[in-house]
Chain A
Amino acid sequence: MTNKLLEVKNLKQYFGSPKNPIKAVDGISFDVYEGETLGLVGESGCGKSTTGRSIIRLYDITDGEILFRGKNIRDAKSRKELKQFNREMQMIFQDPYASLNPRMTAGEIISEGFDIHGLYKNKTERKEKIGSLLEAVGLNREHANRYAHEFSGGQRQRIGIARALSLNPSFIIADEPISALDVSIQAQVVNLLKQLQKEHKLTYLFIAHDLSMVKYISDRIAVMYRGKIVELGTADEIYHHPIHPYTKSLLSAVPLPDPMSERKRQRIPYVHEQNDGSEKVHEVLPNHFVYGTDSQIKKWTK
């Protein structure tokens, strides 16, 4: 088995007043292995984006531990350590319109990272780096002098990807990177992400609500519901042999480009069962985890 790159242990992220907090993420644990893509799916409001943002320290976590390469990310206190951490972990955002500064050129956006980290010796090297990053994501060197509004949605997302790559990270959190794009452009960006993963040995946490793309790009999938991971397993396991009723319900709602099967589609509604608090994570099959009480697990695996 490959190494664990990231370990999340009992992560909690609460918002609002401490007396009556909104439990956006409520005690989740998972590992991300080097070189894999872990898909994180769920409906809006289930805490999937919050999870990603907590990992990259956009929020101060309420409780729990996040270990990156075995080191707790909250222990990094000095500027130097923080910079080192920031170089390793980068993020791609959902909205390619909101996530690029309209007053900066593509070149400036991409180079901001290595300006801050002082990762080049002279101007020619800097220019060369911008050019090669633009080419790596399928744009031209000449695009460096253009502003964000001169690009289409797909091209903007490529700039966002180039920016994320600029510091040679090992881990990228992609928060719904394709949901704002057209179908044909989605495929272009997904292919690009896959190709970059091979070339740069990247590890992805891929957050999305579109199950079909997640299934396609991920090695393993974690399904979130109301701040908890209810099921975690390989992409094939989750898709073909889901155990948790919520996963089943989610899968039954995904429409496929096959009219004959669509006409017979039977959606499985999900009814949340209130529990006494004894639910925990069970390893039902090797590397297939389901969250629930003992009796629920028995019922579901029958």
Chain B
Amino acid sequence: MSKKLLEVKDLKINFKTYAGLVQAVRGVNFELNEGETLAIVGESGSGKSVTSNAVMKLIPQPPGIYADGQILFQGKDLIPLTEKEMSRIRGNEIAMIFQDPMTALNPTMRVGKQITEVILKHKKVSREQAKQRAIELLDQVGIPMPEKRFSQFPHEFSGGMRQRVVIAIALAADPKLLIADEPTTALDVTIQAQILELLKEIQKKNNTSIIFITHDLGVVANIADRVAVMYAGQVVEYGTVNDIFYNPRHPYTWGLLGSMPDLKNNVKEDLRTIPGSPPDLIHPPKGDAFAPRNEFALAIDYEQEPPMFKVSDTHYAKTWLLHPDAPEIPIPETISKRIEGYLKEAENK
């Protein structure tokens, strides 16, 4: 059994706004082992980025408030830490890769300096050693001619190469946990595939844990070991990647899977959509937040919030449909057929 690196317990984060208190994260729980990848999936506004920024303690206070919960990193709670204590962990033990490499990099600073800056801050090394290490890192993330690239500016790099630089900066202090917030969304598919391969390679080598935030389910299937599906500030389904893709139980997960076209089984019917739009988190709806958009909603969904029901040891879902008294609702046919196709294909190989 691998060691537990991060445990988020009942995390609640609010933001004060003129319109009222926005409950952006409403009780999130998850765990991450060493060398494991957790993907957090959800629509914009579901709280996935707020959750990951919270782990880095990057929520500005005010307007943000850590209302409740714990973020246990190697058994130690990060929430009560002072900014000074946190700066020793941030960039050093936990590092982040941002979505847009152009805004994440400083356009007026040479790439090399942006990497050595991190190394010099967190490690006791000389300038020359830091430079050597930076060139090694550039090489490790697959940038050709690292010595030459070291003294270039970000605008001299292509989008994919810039993202590699951002990854090199994140790796500079050998972090145990890497948080990647939509790192491939701004990139072309071919470049995306390369970056995903790179992240997996780094993980294998350094036994790094990764939190990967995305809304692309294809990417999730590619990189994740475990998946947390978020909706309206809560985790609504949590399980291994196989649990989520081959045995999805929450209607919202069905909606997400159904809204992707099925390429393999060549079906040309209309895409399943999730009607409506996400709820207002200043006044979260009573009961199950997903109920108004859920075609399978039960009467109780509008009254009482469902608990996390256990599907298996690794798989949990927050829907009343899993209650023993609930009517049996099978996975919608379009999705179950698709899964059948995938499983059959896997068997044949």
Contact = CB atoms under 8 A, between A and B. Distances in A.
Nearest to A263: B222
A284 interface: no
Contacts of B258: 187
A183 B215 contact: yes
Interface in A204-256: 209-213, 215-216, 236, 239, 249-250, 252-256
B255 interface: yes
Contacts of A264: 349
Contacts of A216: 261, 263, 268, 271
B219 interface: yes
B190 A249 contact: yes
B273 A188 contact: yes
B259 interface: yes
Contacts of B189: 43, 209-211, 250, 253-254
B342 A43 contact: no
A261 interface: yes
A255 B193 contact: yes
B221 A212 contact: no
B255 to A, nearest CB: 6
Contacts of B159: 44
7 contacts: A44-B159, A182-B43, A184-B273, A187-B271, A255-B219, A256-B221, A257-B257
A259 B217 CA distance: 10
7 tightest CB-CB pairs across the interface, nearest first? Answer: A255-B218, A187-B259, A216-B261, A253-B193, A187-B271, A184-B274, A43-B188
B30 to A, nearest CB: 18
Chain B residues touching A, majority SS: helix
B221 A259 contact: yes
Contacts of A211: 189
A270 interface: yes
Contacts of A249: 190
Interface in B262-318: 263-264, 266, 268, 270-275, 277
Interface of B: 43-44, 159, 188-194, 196-197, 215-222, 224, 241-242, 245-246, 255-261, 263-264, 266, 268, 270-275, 277, 342-343, 345-346, 349
Contacts of A186: 259
Interface residues of A, number: 42
Interface string A137-151: 000000000000000
Contacts of A43: 188-191
Given A43-B190, A209-B189, A254-B189, A262 B43 contact: no
Interface of A: 43-44, 152-155, 182-188, 190-191, 194, 209-213, 215-216, 236, 239, 249-250, 252-262, 264-265, 267, 270
Nearest to A138: B275
Contact of B218 (A152, A184, A256): A256
B342 A258 contact: yes
The interface centre, meaning the residue of B43, B256, B259 with most chain A CB atoms within 10 A of its CB, is B259
Given A213-B261, A250-B190, A256-B221, 14 more contacts: A152-B277, A155-B277, A184-B256, A185-B43, A187-B271, A187-B272, A212-B261, A215-B263, A216-B261, A253-B190, A255-B193, A255-B218, A259-B242, A262-B222
A241 to B, nearest CB: 13
A268 B257 CA distance: 26
Choose among A152, A194, A215, A256 the residue with the greatest number of B CB atoms under 10 Å from its CB: A256
Contact of A215 (B261, B270, B272, B342): B261
B280 to A, nearest CB: 11
A183 B242 contact: no
Nearest to A41: B189
A47 B249 CA distance: 43
A261 B190 CA distance: 17
